[in-house]
Structure 1
Amino acid sequence: MITVPRNDNSVVGRWWWTVDRWSLGAVLLIMGVGVMLTMAASPPAAERIGADSFHFVRRQLLFLPVALAVMLAISLAPPRMVRRLSLVVFAVGLAALAATLVVGTEIKGARRWISLPGFGTVQPSEFVKPSLAVISAWLFAQKKLNPRFPGFLLSTVLFAAVLGMLLMQPDLGMSVVVTVVWAAQFFLAGLPIWLAVMGTGLAAAGLVGAFLTFSHVQARIERFINPDAGENYQVNTALEAFMNGGLFGRGPGEGTVKAQLPDAHTDFVMAVAGEEFGLIVCLIVLLLFAFITLRSMSRIANETSLFIMLAAAGLVIQFGLQAFINMASTVQLMPAKGMTLPFISYGGSSAVAMALAVGMMLALTRERAGLGEAS
């Protein structure tokens, strides 16, 4: 058990007594579940590409310590440092996001990744997503402090630039997450009612436009509304895995869904959890994500700094929404969407990017009384 005296005024000592240790513990538990499920789900995927059974396991075990170090290091930072870091990450990420349209690696008809020697493929949008939330929060807050500052306009321009590049890849799921988070922050910052109504209309028109423009979006929505309208193999197989697992599961290594689903170690990792470990373990994972989301929201409810409140809220919404989309699409509560489950689905860049977001979330939700940290 870690013991740190309350009068320890070192950086680590102050961090220990101000950080949300319950949320931190829940994140560490999720990481542990992720290692277990990667070991369970990834061997068939590795064998399909001609690698040895533990190829993905070794890579995930290589990236998770890096992700953990990133998360803990950033959680030590004061709000001002979080804002500066976000600016750097956003600038680099936006350039990389633009580069995917030119030199990106095409996978399943989409250009969302850039190949880096020795690192594999990186999805820049994963890093743009949390950094945009922090920058938008600062711009909104500055607008409230100085009405003449064009914070709303600048944030809208940045959001539109990111959204446009995401739709060109195309990546509708990430576009929805970025839009929901930005709209929520704008609303919390005091969005005028007429803008809220107009924004809702534009969002609805955008969804209709995506349905009419992108054939894969149309196919997924039609299959969701009418499962008999077309091929629905992955979702049906995932649902069958949950039924086979029951309450307690078939046991580690006894599942068959991981050999049938190409994305069992990424988008459909919860299907493996349901089949091998049962409904109870799936509910525990769900409760861990819900606990982190709700607890973090409760910690910022009385925050006096508008920037900290908006930035933390945006990061928390991102975290909870991404987990919800992954789990809901797995059990057919919404159309299937390729989105990873934070810290559980396989993916090195996804784990590091999520660690960046959670590290900033932990930094911004620390207790500020007596710290004297500028926002």
Structure 2
Amino acid sequence: MMTFGRTDNSIVSRWWWTVDRWLLASIVMLMAAGVLFAMAASPPKALGLGLPAFHFVLRQLFFVPLALALLVGFSLMTPVTTRRVAIICFGLFYLATLSTLVFAPEIKGSQRWLHVAGMAIQPSEFMKPMFIVTSAWMFAQTKRKEGFPGTQIAIGLCVVVMGTLLLQPDFGQAILLFTVWGAQFFLAGLPLFMIGVLAVAGVGAVIGAYVLLPHVASRIDRFLDPASGDSYQVNTAMDAFTAGGFLGRGPGEGVVKRILPDAHTDFIFAVIGEEFGLIACLILVGVFAFVVIRGFLKVMREEDPFLFLASAGLIVLFGMQAIINICVNIQLMPAKGMTLPFVSYGGSSLLSLSMAMGMLLCFTRRNHYGDARRPAP
């Protein structure tokens, strides 16, 4: 077994003694749960497509080592290096997201996926954490340098990113990212006037999407009045929770995965509820809550404005995505194609969230050594 002494000054040893091992263990636990639940939820989908039963499980197992490498790799870097990498990657992934409007095939009315080397990649997933870190840097520079237009740049970036996502269209992703960005703006010292502006913009975006995007209007109508249209998926998900009870039907015994088209992705929480029961669902929710609460407890002690805003934004992104997915499954929100972090099947989601949490682990490392946690200039 590999051990590291506190006097060992190697990069890996310094990382081991400064990284939040509870956060790291919780994230790895969620990855392991994702593989387990993919084994429970994905075989019917694979067989229905004429693929081997464990096709999606093997693909998830392929992505897990890459995700772990990204998680550890980002957490090994200094905040300065992480910030620079995030800014460069934001530019690259934004351009890739923009290119989907031209090169991506239309799937279910949206252009979100690029096909590279035989794999489908959703660039907007990777853009999200990079945008959050870049915005945090702009807000922090406003505080550090008098007269620097960091807030104006952050607002401009937000407008450009939101516009691109809405053109795909990916309204849910745009709302999620706008909410996270708004939380960062608030923590950066948002003026009272701007709170009203953002609130009006948010309401206006929802109304505009309802009027201009038929699929958004349909989902909202079905949420408010299930009898107004096809609410098959959310009704089936609720039936799964009822059938599962406290302890579940048992691994492999569920039926919802055979009739829900997105059982291994958007509605995997319903499969968990049916096969493993309410207790397993509460444990899973507890792990998500632990990551969010522990992350905020670490951030509350942070004095550097960039590290504070970047970390807070990444935590809000992780928590909000989990909340949205779970609320859709239990019929508390309109249906939205959003994965459950680290648990739903999906390479783009898994790798992008690993980058996000790797950056969070980097930003929250303790200062046991002089250069392990220096402020980001």
Superposition TM-score tier, normalisation by shorter sequence: over 0.9
Provide the residue aligned with 1:155 in structure 2.
Answer: 154
Provide the residue aligned with 1:272 in structure 2.
Answer: 271
Q: Read off the aligned partner of 2:89 and give its amino acid letter.
A: V
Q: Read off the aligned partner of 1:98 and give its amino acid letter.
A: L
Q: Read off the aligned partner of 1:37 and give its amino acid letter.
A: F
Q: Is residue 72 of structure 2 the alignment partner of residue 63 of structure 1?
A: no
Whether the 8 Å CA contact 1:71–1:355 is kept in 2: the answer is yes
Provide the residue aligned with 1:285 in structure 2.
Answer: 284
Please state how far the C-alpha of 1:374 moved relative to its aligned partner.
4.0
CA distance in 2, matches of 1:101, 1:145: 37
CA distance in 2, matches of 1:34, 1:22: 18
Provide the residue aligned with 2:45 in structure 1.
Answer: 45
**1:164-183 equivalences in 2 (<5 Å):** 164-183=163-182
Provide the residue aligned with 1:193 in structure 2.
Answer: 192
Q: Secondary structure at 1:115's aligned position in 2?
A: strand
Whether the 8 Å CA contact 1:181–1:318 is kept in 2: the answer is yes
Please state how far the C-alpha of 1:29 moved relative to its aligned partner.
1.0
Q: Is residue 80 of structure 2 the alignment partner of residue 80 of structure 1?
A: yes
Q: Read off the aligned partner of 1:32 and give its amino acid letter.
A: A
Percent identity of paired positions between Structure 1 and Structure 2: 49
Please state how far the C-alpha of 1:147 moved relative to its aligned partner.
2.3
Q: Read off the aligned partner of 1:257 and give its amino acid letter.
A: V
Deviations 1:287-344 (A, max 9, x none): 1011001100110101110000000000010001001100110100111110011111
Whether the 8 Å CA contact 2:132–2:313 is kept in 1: the answer is yes
Provide the residue aligned with 1:107 in structure 2.
Answer: 107
Please state how far the C-alpha of 1:149 moved relative to its aligned partner.
0.8
**1:348-367 equivalences in 2 (<5 Å):** 348-367=347-366
Name which of structure 1's ranges 4-13 and 323-332 shifts more when overlaid on structure 2.
4-13
Q: Secondary structure at 1:121's aligned position in 2?
A: strand
CA distance in 2, matches of 1:202, 1:91: 25
Q: Read off the aligned partner of 2:250 and give its amino acid letter.
A: G
Instruction: Report the count of equivalent residues.
Output: 374
Q: Is residue 334 of structure 2 the alignment partner of residue 335 of structure 1?
A: yes
Name which of structure 1's ranges 363-372 and 339-348 shifts more when overlaid on structure 2.
363-372
Deviations 1:127-186 (A, max 9, x none): 111001101111111111112111011111111111001001111111011101111111
Provide the residue aligned with 1:130 in structure 2.
Answer: 129
Please state how far the C-alpha of 1:2 moved relative to its aligned partner.
5.9
Q: Read off the aligned partner of 2:232 and give its amino acid letter.
A: Y
Deviations 1:230-282 (A, max 9, x none): 11000000110111111111111111101100100000001111111111111
Deviations 1:22-63 (A, max 9, x none): 111111111111001101111111112111111111111001
Provide the residue aligned with 1:217 in structure 2.
Answer: 216
Please state how far the C-alpha of 1:7 moved relative to its aligned partner.
2.2
Please state how far the C-alpha of 1:91 moved relative to its aligned partner.
1.2
CA distance in 2, matches of 1:147, 1:374: 18
Gaps of 5+ in 1: none
Deviations 1:200-254 (A, max 9, x none): 1111111111111111111111111111221100000011011111111111111
Q: Secondary structure at 1:110's aligned position in 2?
A: coil
Q: Read off the aligned partner of 1:111 and give its amino acid letter.
A: Q
Name which of structure 1's ranges 208-217 and 365-374 shifts more when overlaid on structure 2.
365-374
Q: Is residue 138 of structure 2 the alignment partner of residue 139 of structure 1?
A: yes
Q: Read off the aligned partner of 1:267 and give its amino acid letter.
A: D
Q: Read off the aligned partner of 2:142 and give its amino acid letter.
A: K
Q: Secondary structure at 2:106's aligned position in 1?
A: strand
Q: Read off the aligned partner of 2:191 and give its amino acid letter.
A: P
Deviations 1:66-86 (A, max 9, x none): 001110111111110111110
Whether the 8 Å CA contact 1:83–1:134 is kept in 2: the answer is yes
Q: Read off the aligned partner of 2:146 and give its amino acid letter.
A: P
Provide the residue aligned with 2:183 in structure 1.
Answer: 184
Deviations 1:85-120 (A, max 9, x none): 1012111101111110001122111111111123x1
Name which of structure 1's ranges 262-271 and 105-114 shifts more when overlaid on structure 2.
105-114
Q: Read off the aligned partner of 1:371 and give its amino acid letter.
A: G
Give the alignment's Cα RMSD to 1 decimal: 1.1
Provide the residue aligned with 1:319 in structure 2.
Answer: 318
CA distance in 2, matches of 1:89, 1:362: 18
Q: TM-score, normalised by structure 1?
A: 0.98
Q: Read off the aligned partner of 1:11 and give its amino acid letter.
A: I
Q: Secondary structure at 1:136's aligned position in 2?
A: helix
Provide the residue aligned with 1:96 in structure 2.
Answer: 96
Q: Read off the aligned partner of 1:142 and give its amino acid letter.
A: Q
Whether the 8 Å CA contact 1:78–1:374 is kept in 2: the answer is no
CA distance in 2, matches of 1:50, 1:89: 37
Q: Secondary structure at 1:91's aligned position in 2?
A: helix
